[in-house]
Amino acid sequence: MIKIVMLSLLLYSNFLFSNEGEKVYEKRCASCHKLYIAPSILLENFMEKNNTVLHLTAPTINQIVFRLKSRIGDPKGDEDIHKMEIDSFIADYLINPDKSKSVCLPKVIRHFKTMPSLKGKISVEEIEAVSDFLWAYNLTDFVAKKLKFVAYKKAVEIAQKEHKIIIIKLTREHCHFCTKMDREVFSDKEIIEALDKNFIVVEVDIGKETPPLGLKIGMTPTFIFVDEKEKIMAKIPGAWTKQDFLGILKEAVKAKGDKK
């Protein structure tokens, strides 16, 4: 009996994790906490520019997760215990927010008002789900570090030197399927390895930047494959599953090989 209860709890929490956590974030947290801003930009904003670049009113989720994981509990200890420690910090913070408990840097936190308590506004299940969502979020952060920081010009240089294919990944803010792909596809080990071997990814936020090569595309995500001579090989719109995207990457490598 106990086993069955535990199993169903486990399944239940997995279910919440995969579906509900992000929804809870979108419904209860996204109005204040942006999901992701590149660490280099955050650093410049808070350490050099007094928050005058981003004008943030709350820390971003990638900031919070990074700080929680390094400041709460024992980061080098048992992973399950570490997660429980972070879960309980979050559960407490949502009900009893208090800047004196903050894990953020003083130079960051001083720009914000204390978070309003969510007491009575968020259920225990929602707290667990959003906490799972935050815990899993580091993957995206890792991938972002690895994949997002090449500017187009630099990518062309690398592509020519290392005979790689450039993928221009067109995204925009609040693009649900971009985030979904970041989390489910671009955080996958096989995908990362495949990208690492044959590709260079350039991410362009079409709401903020003009895409290279005069590209005029409104749909996000869209993936533009470009060869080392800056010729467009393919334009692939839409969100893809891991298997499909791996297939697309293989096709691109094959197409490049065929041309030689």
Q: Which residues bind ligand HEC (CB under 6 A)?
A: 28-29, 31-33, 57-59, 64, 90, 93-94, 97, 99, 102-104, 109, 112-116, 118, 122, 130
Choice between 121 and 145, CB closer to ligand HEC: 121
- Nearest approach in angstroms of CB 139 to ligand HEC is 18
Give the CA-trace dihedral at 184, 189, 194, 197, to 10 degrees. 140
By CB atoms closer than 10 A (0-12, 13-18, 19+), residue 189 is exposed
Rounded to the nearest angstrom, the gap between the alpha carbon of residue 86 and the centroid of all alpha carbons in its chain is 19
Distance in angstroms (rounded) separating the CA atoms of residues 212 and 203: 11
- For residues 107 and 47, the answer to whether their CB atoms sit within 8 Å is yes
Rounded to a whole number of angstroms, the distance between the first and last alpha carbons of the chain is 64
- Nearest approach in angstroms of CB 182 to ligand HEC is 19
Choice between 63 and 222, CB closer to ligand HEC: 63
Choice between 116 and 218, CB closer to ligand HEC: 116
Choice between 141 and 228, CB closer to ligand HEC: 141
Distance in angstroms (rounded) separating the CA atoms of residues 126 and 75: 25
- Nearest approach in angstroms of CB 102 to ligand HEC is 3
- Nearest approach in angstroms of CB 78 to ligand HEC is 21
